[in-house]
Structure 1
């Protein structure tokens, strides 16, 4: 069987002042790739997520997202990477477009080199609705206790398109010293269908930042990543609803406490009606990092055999 080379662009999403960010793989013209192709490319790329872009029959673009080990319905930083990249190439213009995923359409707004993605209104689930998993189980999987939490920071499951367990700790010192038990985090994530844990503190090192966070998603082969737009959105909702931060715009920082720091900045804009969150947009700036080719096996009909 013949082989074919697929062009992969690596784009750093949610950069802060042009630095840091979270690298995402972007493959354009992916309409002829199979599910197996996309999974194989994502595995070889070795990034937390790779996005595959193809035309959509109605409007905008279809996006398929894969981590190194499985498909994921939505990916924030890869979405921002895709549309910022396509704007630089002139494939899309400024203003509004649409991304279509396995979970339906979502609005995209492009402003310069920044892109913003729509997320649905939040849904919260507290223990004991967690199929026998307790708050103590979640804390133990992170190696912390209730003494490490900030007031109101008890674990809560939040979904605005993907499900994350959000946990608020008292300060950056606790956040920096987290050492998750990988097996326990995977087991809980499997049971509750989580992408991962988003651990945060509102006691941030910088002014103008609503919270700084870390994301652990080993179920999806994401040990830790520098920016998670689909988790920053739920966190902004939680800060608004549980912590009384009644702001319609928040900046969430991530990546500061990774083994190799890569500070990212995610802007979340909340839409509210009568004090209730009805929707949100999360976005930021992206920049090109590099290009490479990944070789996959060509299907028989394309190989001409």
Structure 2
């Protein structure tokens, strides 16, 4: 089905991503037709909503009516971010509910992100995004020490098998692996100190992880640079984490991983990460459902 302009609304929609329960997942704002909004207006909408991100869609300059291509910008309550996974999933599901399931292309600041939406008829629609080409780099020891101090963690709280790295799949994340589920659960950090480090390093979140099994992980993502203490589900970090695991050889070239996030916040989320042999990009999947305004 092609996209007709009258299917695109200027209303601010509210969806929660990586869950089929309106009380779970990570809420995101979605504006399907943001052509009348400038930067200041988009930031004001995101700040008013108070969600970790809001996605604003417009037609790309070269696009014509009927194409399933959109330029997308993402704003936290404090600033624009280059890419946001949960708002991508939310926006794709919102589109699909109005114009039909299938494939879209979101043109983001990080690059083009294909998104496919399917509905199995038994639950909420699922969206799968394909990341831009990722990269993984060593984390400076002094920066890791500062991050640990801001988190109030000790060096011994880290899992030796999964060393600190900075991973990118549209946005930069410092990955730190906890040695125990208990350490991950007790998250109480210095908001301003961590925000200052993240701004200096150009980080979007910290990806804090604990490995339950070969393919199952529990994750938490502090997001002070966006004015949010913690994200309940973080698709961009999930994509970066998939690249991180592959770069370390911690999983195979082809793998399917489950990430549990948000449970410690009372908003359980489930993210599926897929790695394919021969393709450096990472696929992240999850459901999304509309929520009503509080």
Tell me which interval the TM-score lies in, with the shorter structure as reference length.
0.7 to 0.9
Matched with 2:58 is 54
Matched with 1:285 is 287
Q: CA deviation at 1:181?
A: 1.3
Runs of at least 5 residues in structure 1 that lack an aligned partner in the other structure: 1-5, 293-305
Q: 1:181 to 1:154 in 2, by over 3 A?
A: farther
Counterpart of 1:15 in 2: which secondary structure? coil
Residue by residue, what CA displacement relative to the aligned partner does 1:185-222 show, whole Å, maximum 9, x if unpaired? Answer: 11110111000211010127xxx962111100101112
Matched with 2:134 is 122
2:276 counterpart of 1:271: yes
User: TM-score, structure 2 length as denominator?
Assistant: 0.87
Which structure has more relative contact order (CA 8 Å, sep 6+)? It is 1
Indicate the structure (1 or 2) with the bigger Cα radius of gyration: 1
Return the match for 1:196 from 199, 205, 224.
Answer: 205
Residues 174 and 206 of structure 2 are in contact (CA less than 8 Å); yes or no, is this contact kept in structure 1? yes
1:136-151 equivalences under 5 Å are 136-151=145-160
Return the match for 2:255 from 241, 248, 252.
Answer: 248
Q: CA deviation at 1:98?
A: 0.4
Q: Distance in 2 between matches of 1:83 and 1:119?
A: 14
Q: CA deviation at 1:283?
A: 1.8
Q: Distance in 2 between matches of 1:290 and 1:100?
A: 28
Return the match for 2:15 from 11, 19, 34.
Answer: 11
Q: Distance in 1 between matches of 2:193 and 2:43?
A: 25
Q: CA deviation at 1:136?
A: 1.7
2:108 counterpart of 1:106: no
Residues 10 and 24 of structure 1 are in contact (CA less than 8 Å); yes or no, is this contact kept in structure 2? yes
Matched with 1:222 is 228
Q: Distance in 2 between matches of 1:262 and 1:29?
A: 29
Residue by residue, what CA displacement relative to the aligned partner does 1:64-119 show, whole Å, maximum 9, x if unpaired? Answer: 11000111111110110011111112x2x332220012233211111111111111
User: TM-score, structure 1 length as denominator?
Assistant: 0.84
Bigger share in strand: 1
2:161 counterpart of 1:152: yes
Runs of at least 5 residues in structure 2 that lack an aligned partner in the other structure: 1-9, 120-124
Residues 262 and 269 of structure 2 are in contact (CA less than 8 Å); yes or no, is this contact kept in structure 1? yes
Number of residue pairs matched by the alignment? 274
Matched with 2:4 is none
2:76 counterpart of 1:74: no
Moved over 4 A (4+): 16-19
Matched with 1:97 is 104
Return the match for 1:40 from 41, 44, 59.
Answer: 44
Q: 1:195 to 1:38 in 2, by over 3 A?
A: same
